[in-house]
Amino acid sequence: MRSKTLTFLLTLSMVLVTVVGGPAPNVAANPSAEAPDLGTAASFVGLAASTFTNTGDGVYYGNVGVFPGSAVEGFPPGTVENGEIYRGGAIPEQAQIDALAGYNDLAGRPCNTNLTSQDLGGMTLPPGVYCFNTSAQLTGDLVLDAMGDPNAVWVFQTGSTLTTASGSTVRLINGAQIFNVFWQVGTSATLGTTTRFKGTIIADQSITLETGAGLSGRALALNGGVTMDTEGSPPISNPQLGIVKQVYPVSAIPDQVITYTITFANYGSELVTGIMISDTIPISVTNTSVISSGVAITQVQDTRYAWEIAPLEVGQGGIITITGQLSSTLPSGMFTNTATITSTELERDFENDTSSASVIVAAEVYTLTVNIVGRGSVTAEPPGTVILPPGTIIFPYTFITGTVVTLTATPDTGWHFTGWSGDLSGVANPEELTMDTNKAVTATFMTKIYLPLVQRNHTP
């Protein structure tokens, strides 16, 4: 990265950076800076160009991938949660394109403060763009102070390497967010043993985490490998909350009772506070009741479905269940609503921060009865609403009008499927039928017959 000359005016808005054991340069906070758009690269906690190598039983919360290479090594013993491993292909290719765009964005920003030849250890830095003409070193504790602004952004530009000494830390205070800290590295980054590092590292070459080092953020290597010795490391993760919303049944009629479940959890590597969940349950769902399990929730005053969530430890989560009745005058159609989880501390642009569920409402429903002759079973997709009395072999289901149902017959051991009868015919399996009236289908199974082998003796 080319050398940059720092020019600034000494104004009242300047903030003094505290440096232990060295001079204290004047640094102007730059709260107006924005985080770059990382696109699909934002979902990766580790992305390499050549080889991604894990050593140890580390846990990665997010995607891990390689492009243009395809070698991902060390899984197991390493594990990936809430993400996938990509060994080449279109997804990591696009992530590399997006990571490069983010790298160029960061490298092109005007430098607010030049820290060349200074160790970051012992500094407390306000938001801004900090540059090193060559290498950057962290020995000890670096504190990033947002001064109460949760949108504060830090950009660190290094002309060559980024290196941390063993046991070094990056700490965030006064509302600073992990997803707003970026390290643009001109060559390679190395985090020393037991370092506790925060932010997104985008390196032109390689990224290495030595034994026990931890990263809350991302390691994105554009032209080299990523090597992580996770023996004794905390989880490698983006700050991440997750939420999944479901509804049952997925098809219903006016006046029917339906149930929404909202499952949420902290998939990151640190305690999360300031969490809120909001839901857009339609006004047409009445007589609702709300229960929760796993963690305390508090309804926000003067709202219908919004809750403040108790702080979540790593891996902790809960379930909110909403049961209500569809309006008797509800028209036919598909009704979709969305639950959203947010936090003052976490990234809010992840796909799993929102989840939607749809229920199809129709004025008419029809019953499908499946009879079985012989020994076997039949499954329906979608499953409909089972109204089967226990112990019977007749399987009735209810579906809204127009539903296309796929039936699959599975014989028991020693039996085989011989065909459909009733409102279906033939031997195709699986088979489809459209629910436009009440229908009944019979699946017939027969035993397999094995004839004894008869050997005829021939006399010459």
Task: Express each pLDDT in 229-241 by its tens digit.
Answer: 999 998 888 767 8
Question: Would you place residue 349 in the very low, low, confident or very high pLDDT band (cuts 50, 70, 90)?
Answer: very low
| pLDDT value for 420 | 95
The mean pLDDT value for 385-396 works out to 40
The listed range with the strongest mean pLDDT (188-202, 280-294, 366-380) is: 188-202
| pLDDT value for 106 | 97
Question: Would you place residue 18 in the very low, low, confident or very high pLDDT band (cuts 50, 70, 90)?
Answer: very low
* Alpha-carbon span 282 to 356, nearest angstrom: 12
Question: Would you place residue 46 in the very low, low, confident or very high pLDDT band (cuts 50, 70, 90)?
Answer: very high
Q: Considering the chain, what is the average pLDDT of its residues?
A: 83
Distances (CA, A) of 227 to 66, 235, 238, 239, 322: 12, 15, 17, 21, 45
The mean pLDDT value for 194-212 works out to 96
35 pLDDT more than 90: no
What domains are there in the chain, each with its CATH number?
14-237 (no CATH), 241-361 (2.60.40.1530), 365-447 (2.60.40.1140)
Distances (CA, A) of 196 to 214, 220, 234, 346, 347: 5, 17, 9, 18, 19
| pLDDT value for 14 | 33
Per the CB < 8 A criterion, the answer to whether 176 and 203 are in contact is: no
Q: Are strands 415-422 and 439-447 parallel, antiparallel or unpaired?
A: antiparallel
* % pLDDT > 90, the chain: 50
| pLDDT value for 271 | 74
The pTM is what?
0.59
